Amino acid sequence: MTLYDHPDCPFAQKVRIVLAEKELSYDTETVDLAAGAQRSPEFRRLNPFGQVPVLVDEEVVVYESTLINEYLNDEYPFPNLLPEDSAYRAKARLLEDYADRVFTLPGMSLRQQLTVVADDRNEQKCDTARNAIRSGLAMLNGMLKDKEYIVGEFSLADVSFAPLVLDLASLEMELDLKPPVAEWIARLKSRRSVESLRLVA
Ligand SMILES: N[C@@H](CCC(=O)N[C@@H](CS)C(=O)NCC(=O)O)C(=O)O
């Protein structure tokens, strides 16, 4: 199995966490995004949208991190990372989608702005991103009040939030994390899969 990867890509990190949870061995092909390797005809044959991550498992090619993780969970079912109950499974999937679109993408946008000297930053973009991240953390805080993980057991929903929550320190934000969410982050950080990937700053 080969993962077309980039070390800083939070979507590729989601896949790496699942591969580690399932203790699967794989090769890594780092795609040089800065040099535009994702736009090469060879890479576009794997993913016509020209993005990492892409997983190649023998003759099976899957792109889109959420779909790769679904594939991994179907094909390598132990440990199962989705709830048995279909209502909870739907909830986990909805939260994965929320994490990708409403939490991780604003985090990437903020991170990108922070690479620019302060005077040239788009403060409106920064504020929008910070607000989205704060709303996401507040929502998680409410959901985690009586649970160890977002839908009870550790699931693909936790995986989807993990890359950004494990790297909140780099976002230069004042955060007053309440115990449910702070304890959940500590729990995520102590998982063997996460420790082994050294995603924690
Ligand atoms: N929805 C995609 C997003 C993947 C994505 O945004 N990948 C970025 C790196 S983090 C990428 O390959 N960017 C290169 C480009 O778009 O040219 C997923 O979940 O896999």
Amino acid type, 69? N
**What class has domain 86-191?**
mainly alpha
Q: 146 C-alpha vs ligand 1 centroid, how far in Å?
A: 34
2-75, what's its fold? Answer: Glutaredoxin (3.40.30)
Peptide bond into 79 cis (omega under 30): yes
User: What b/e sequence results for 133-171 when a residue is b if at least 16 CB atoms lie within 10 Å of its CB, and e otherwise?
Assistant: beebbebbbebbeeeebbbebbbbbbbbbbbbbbbbeeb
Q: 194 C-alpha vs ligand 1 centroid, how far in Å?
A: 21
What lies within 8 Å, CB to CB, of 111 at 6+ separation is 170, 171
Q: 179 C-alpha vs ligand 1 centroid, how far in Å?
A: 32
Residue 130 in this model has a pLDDT that exceeds 90: yes
Atom of ligand 1 nearest to the CA of 8: 10
- Sheet of 2-5: strand order equals 27-30, 2-5, 54-57, 60-63
pLDDT of amino acid 120: 93
pLDDT of amino acid 196: 80
Q: Is 153 in the pocket of ligand 1 (CB under 6 A)?
A: no
Report field, pTM of the whole predicted structure over 0.75:
yes
- Domain segments of the chain: what residues? 2-75, 86-191
pLDDT of amino acid 57: 98
Active site annotation includes 126: no
Residue 39: how many other CB atoms lie within 10 Å: 11
Q: How far apart are CA 6 and CA 9, in angstroms?
A: 5
pLDDT (tens digit, 9 = 90+) per residue, 142-174?
A: 999 999 999 999 999 999 999 999 999 999 999
The residue from 4, 5, 6, 9 that is catalytic is 9
Tokens of residue 138, six digits:
């507040």
Residue owning the nearest CA to atom 11 of ligand 1: 51
Residue 177 in this model has a pLDDT that exceeds 90: yes
Residue 68 · residue 15 · CB < 8 Å: yes
